[in-house]
Structure 1
Amino acid sequence: MPWKEVAASFHTSWEKVFHAVEYVVQWGLEHRDLSNITAIGVDEIAWRKGHKYLTLVYQIDAGKTRLLWIGKDRTVKTFLGFFRFFGEQRSQALKFICSDMWKPYLKVIEKKAGQAIHILDRFHIAAKLNKAIDEVRADEHRQMKKAGHEPVLKNSR
């Protein structure tokens, strides 16, 4: 529900709702437990046009999934900021990290949590696999055409 609607429902101002939310979020941050986290996932989301991203890190342990951290931009420096926040001891306790195949993520993960098993997310694996299949198919099509043979799978993927 938008904060403006919450304010109207409770006969108060938008600013008071904002401050109440800010207070509760701050209290939650101060009292959250970051112990026993063994699996995290990292991804980014576009929050504005023009390639403006936020880096998100989630806890993805069995039975406990939650947002742990948000960083502005999608850069090595941003992702390193998560590991500074998380701390060396907790980073070394990580057993699994799931991410896409963006090379800067891979480098940071290797540097800060190299002991963890790195799991590449299924969306990006499938995309890479489909791209490779398309390249092989297109190459075979070109070779058959060059050799004077009629392609078997004409106009199809």
Structure 2
Amino acid sequence: MPWVKGKHHLTEAYAWFLARWAKRLSWQEVASAFHTTWGHVFSSVEMAVDWGRKHRDLSGIEAIGVDEIQWQRGHRYLTLVYRIDRSCRRLLWIGKERKVKTLLGFFRWFGKKRTASLQYICSDMWKPYLKVIARKAGNALHILDRFHIMAHMSKAIDEVRAKETKELKEQGLEPVLTRSRWLLLKRPENLTE
């Protein structure tokens, strides 16, 4: 039968149908909704992923993003590398753990030629990432994640406010910086009397 690949129990069209639904619902819910087994949904997703990996185009990548997500309890992470070009945003690579050797593994897989063509790399401020990116893709502009920069700024503002408030109290002056965090963070044009 031309619409079935090998000795599979599902037609190719039905497998693609299940794989698309598996992006929206859990695999068990898809199996239940379409009166099939979890295994059939799994094999459909596996078929779609294999097809995607075989047909993936890695040419012309100019910008990547490096981040991590917590995988299980207890500080277990996965390193994710995304393509973040204007024309295309997609996951390129997943590595177990958040270590230097993990990100080095990505650059080994990605290749020297493609790495040399990178213009932008966005990551957080985790030191091992910074070191690997500087070593492997030093010609690319390294952009730090705004979320992490703002977290450091916010922490610094709180530390300075606490220090200044303590010094004012020691001098017997009124601690005017107490409860002023949001006042300091407001834009000047939004300030009121």
TM-score by length of 2: 0.77
Aligned 1:38-49 pairs, distance under 5 A: 38-49=62-73
Match of 1:148 among 162, 168, 172: 172
Deviations 1:35-80 (A, max 9, x none): 0000000111112111111111100011211111111111111111
Report which of the two has the higher share of strand.
1
The aligned runs of 1:121-140 (5 Å cut-off) are 121-140=145-164
Give the equivalent residue in structure 2 for 1:11.
35
1:33 aligned partner, one-letter code: D
Q: Which amino acid aligns with 1:67?
A: L
- Structure 1 segments of 4 or more deviating over 6 A? none
- CA–CA distance in 1 between the matches of 2:115 and 2:154? 34
Shift of 1:9: 3.5
2:61 corresponds to 1:37: yes
1:82 aligns with 2:113: no
Structure 2: state its 5+ residue gaps.
1-24, 182-193
CA-CA distance at 1:156 after TM superposition: 4.2
| 1:68-108 per-position Cα deviation (integer Å, ceiling 9, x unaligned) | 11111111111111111111110111000001100000000
TM-score after normalising by structure 1: 0.94
Structure 2 counterparts to residues 91-106 of structure 1, below 5 A:
91-106=115-130
Unaligned runs of 5+ in 1: none
State the AA in 1 paired with 2:71: W
| Amino acid in the other structure paired with 2:107 | F
Residue 155 of structure 1 deviates from its aligned partner by 4.1
Greater relative contact order (Cα 8 A, min sep 6): structure 1 or 2? 1
The aligned residue for residue 120 of structure 1 is 144
How many correspondences in the alignment? 157
Given the alignment, which residue of 120, 128, 132 partners 1:108? Answer: 132
**What code does the residue aligned with 1:74 have?**
R
Counterpart of 1:26? 50
Q: CA RMSD in A?
A: 1.3
